[in-house]
Amino acid sequence: MKRTDSILQSLRQDGHRITKARKALIEALQRTHQPVAALELHARLSKSKVTADKVTVYRELKFLADIGVVHPVHLKDNIQRYELAPESGHKHHLVCTECKTVKDVEMACADLHNLERNIGKKSNFTVRGHSLEFYGLCSRCA
Amino acid sequence: MKRTDSILQSLRQDGHRITKARKALIEALQRTHQPVAALELHARLSKSKVTADKVTVYRELKFLADIGVVHPVHLKDNIQRYELAPESGHKHHLVCTECKTVKDVEMACADLHNLERNIGKKSNFTVRGHSLEFYGLCSRCA
DNA sequence: GTCTATGCAAAGGCTTTGCAACCTA
DNA sequence: TAGGTTGCAAAGCCTTTGCATAGAC
């Protein structure tokens, strides 16, 4: 079953409704392989046949984040972005400071988990998660 | 020589003026051992004898960031914070999701530099820097 | 006196809230 | 039909800009 369909099905099971806007948003998120901001997503939908209000996009993204379908992504420009949650764990990103594109990093968190444990012990802090992004130049901008 | 003084001196050498607001801001930043948002800093100054306009705080922080005296810090709430730049390198943070306090991590970037190199090679991306924060519970909130 | 830095007002950009109308189940 | 969703308008927040004035050197 395709990712979109399984998401829609689980939404339905939880008593949520499958509206045109919701479906279009999830599909758009799936087509995108980068974290997207609400306004970006709204602009993309505007060019397609199924449109949705700006506010709907904000609300839907927040809703999808609440139920874990998308993950919030925070980059240096302080604009809230979201990306479809991966099957397990979470992603890290390579952000090109030149063209602003974002690439996923092929990297397990395993290395970081060790780090987390050590830090937790040393600092007497219960680490629950982390946020890691790399900034630099993509191959085209280098 | 104290940190504040050496900053002020280097500002003076570069032709910048030492105003009451500027001095108070730098001193407040030094007293703070956490990243601070402009409005937070403004509020703190408001309670002291030397006050400064909100806009002045915003402008001054941006200015200090441009010349490298402070470093911008990005947390999950998408509010711009700044902290006094350490003597060398940059800091990582432990953010308590409960009480929102931020603690510095005692950690060299060395481990990450290896990671950066590997990632750069694998992804054909020139890594210039990174952003890493840990989220969890501080000792008081755990 | 010169020119940077400041304060105030206003605007800008992203995001949230309120509420009536709509549409899915 | 009932209640989750949507759209529109308006407000909220953080942040930036413009411009005249104040103040450091």
Closest Cα in chain A to B115: A111
Closest Cα in chain B to A129: B135
pLDDT tens profile B31-81? 998 999 999 999 999 999 999 999 999 999 999 999 999 999 999 999 999
Number of structural domains found in chain A:
2
Q: Which of B47, B66, B85 is the last residue of a domain?
A: B85
Average pLDDT over residues B118-127: 90
| Residue A15 falls in which region: left (phi positive, over 0), alpha (psi -120 to 50) or beta | left
Q: Which of B54, B85, B116 is the last residue of a domain?
A: B85
Give the separation between CA B24 and CA B7, rounded to whole angstroms: 12
Please tell me whether residues A92 and A76 are part of one structural domain: no
Task: Output the pLDDT for position B57.
Answer: 98
Query: Which residues form the domain of B107?
Result: 88-142
Domain of A129, CATH number, reads: 3.30.1490.190
Task: Output the pLDDT for position A11.
Answer: 97
Give A72's contacts in chain B (Cβ within 8 Å). Answer: 76
Please tell me whether residues A79 and A95 are part of one structural domain: no
Please tell me whether residues A72 and A99 are part of one structural domain: no
Percentage of residues in chain A having pLDDT higher than 90: 77
- For B13-19, the CB contacts below 8 A with 24+ separation are B14/B67
CB contact under 8 A, A103 and B119: no
Please tell me whether residues A97 and A31 are part of one structural domain: no
CB contact under 8 A, A115 and B97: no
CB contact under 8 A, A126 and B116: no
pLDDT band at B138 (very low <50, low <70, confident <90, very high): very high
CA of A13 to C1' of D5 (A): 17
**Residue A51 confidence (pLDDT) above 70:** yes
Give B124's contacts in chain A (Cβ within 8 Å). Answer: 138-139
Please tell me whether residues B74 and B94 are part of one structural domain: no
CA of B19 vs chain A CAs: smallest distance (Å) = 30
Contacts of A53 (CB under 8 A, 6+ apart): A42
Please tell me whether residues B30 and B2 are part of one structural domain: yes
Task: Output the pLDDT for position A142.
Answer: 82
Please tell me whether residues A20 and A76 are part of one structural domain: yes
